[in-house]
Amino acid sequence: MRAFAVTLPSGQRYWTVLDESLVPVPAADRFLRHMRFGKNGAESTTETYAYALALFLRWCARTDRDWRTAAPDLGLFMTWLRYAPKSVCGLEPSLGAALMLGPGAKPARSEKRVNAVLTAVRGMVAEAVTHKDAPGWVLPVLFDLASTADLPAVARGENAGTKLRLGARHRMKEPKRPVDRANDEEIVALLRACRSARDRLMILLMARSGLRRGELVGLRREDMHFLLDSSSLGCQVSRAHLHVVRRELNPNGAWAKSRRERVVPVDGLLVRAHDHYAMERLACRAAATCDFVLVNLFRAPLGAPMPPRAVNELLTALSERAGLARRVRPHQLRHAFASNARDAGAEWDELSELMGHESPESLAPYLHPDPQRLRAAVERVPSPRLLDTDTQVQR
């Protein structure tokens, strides 16, 4: 069982699972096509799910289980998933890999990864039950049926009434590991380690505009409105800004997570960085006909749009070149943007719009208050002695 990318005649792509004969597994393929086209999911989502389902189907095949009725043994699969290294769960297991160390050994996957795999498995099996490819009795094994009446009022919402809800029965408790932000010193170090104007522009677009990785490499030249007046381009937004647009047929696999277009203002620093990159890009003749902003300038195929994975590769190289103690990830730069904007006085509704969130509540994980601002907040609280003095004066 292996994950495999499928390109349709229309140019759209999704991922599926192939069996030993390199034939798509019907249930997995139907579920993944539904996720991609029926629910308008991202190609990257089907890729993640395809690798997860391949693991589950591989486990079923190697333990002589039928995936349709393996739900009662899902706890055993969780243990296998948690501790099975590549030598055990890979396409070609190593000789003698049938014996696997369990709890007490070093985990091969995090709790979050295990839960993500289980989500894909539950989805495929539930879809199979809907199409009568799996027996209906497996659903109560996978899900607990409960009422919304036991939820807090704030979770039910106003006038929501009582409804039934499904809760996953198999789930690992995930430790709280908040995503840290890249601090200002790390961002400056990354910029100094850049050897091209393109790389500096990429860092600034994430750290000063909050773009996601897929949004960054999905930018088209028509999205960059860096004039004082863009009315000649048919845009009524004043001053320098860029548009983040959701496009599904990107040849480089880029994907804008937000389902709606948003406008992100940019400052003079970013405009100058873009101008320097534009001059650098002119030297690459192969990039002349490419409408994407960020293209390959130093590796083949020259002039082609950069894929999302290239952003991670760049940050890994820059982190090492800058001598940083850790590898900075793209999402940490987005966290830095949100935190810095908040520390500078941005309101929640403004940040929500800039970040492309549907709800302001989604901002909470992104905000990492500056330690000096926290200290200032404490020092603003008057001491009991001052409060007592004010009371005596009023008397």
What's the pLDDT at 154? 46
| Nearest alpha carbon to residue 144 among 120, 170, 119, 124 | 170
Residue with the larger pLDDT of the pair 205 and 148: 205
What's the pLDDT at 179? 67
Cα torsion angle, 112, 250, 32, 94, sign: negative
Q: Rounded mean pLDDT of the chain? A: 83
Question: Does residue 188 carry a pLDDT above 50?
Answer: yes
Q: HEC states along the chain?
A: CEEEEEECCCCCEEEEEECCCCCECHHHHHHHHHHHHHCCCCHHHHHHHHHHHHHHHHHHHHCCCCHHHCHHHHHHHHHHHHHCCHHHHCCCCCCCCCCCCCECECCCCCHHHHHHHHHHHHHHHHHHHHCCCCCCCHHHHHEEEEEHHHCCHHHHCCCCCCCEEEEECCCCCCCCCCCCCCCHHHHHHHHHHCCCHHHHHHHHHHHCCCCCHHHHHCCEHHHEECCCECHHHCCCCECCEEEECCCCCCCCCCCCCCCCCEEEECCHHHHHHHHHHHHHHHCCHHHCCCCECCECCCCCCCCCECCHHHHHHHHHHHHHHCCCCCCCCHHHHHHHHHHHHHHCCCCHHHHHHHHCCCCHHHHHHHCCCCHHHHHHHHHCCCCHHHHHHHHHHHC
Percent of the chain residues past pLDDT 70, beyond the cut: 81
* pLDDT average, residue stretch 177-199: 89
Residue with the larger pLDDT of the pair 50 and 90: 50
How far apart are alpha carbons 16 and 3 in whole angstroms? 6
| Nearest alpha carbon to residue 295 among 357, 194, 216 | 216
pLDDT band at residue 155 under the 50/70/90 scheme: very low
Q: What is the pLDDT of residues 223-269, one digit of tens each?
A: 999 888 888 888 888 899 999 887 766 777 777 766 678 889 999 99
Question: CB atoms < 10 A from the CB of 104, how many?
Answer: 6
* pLDDT average, residue stretch 82-96: 74
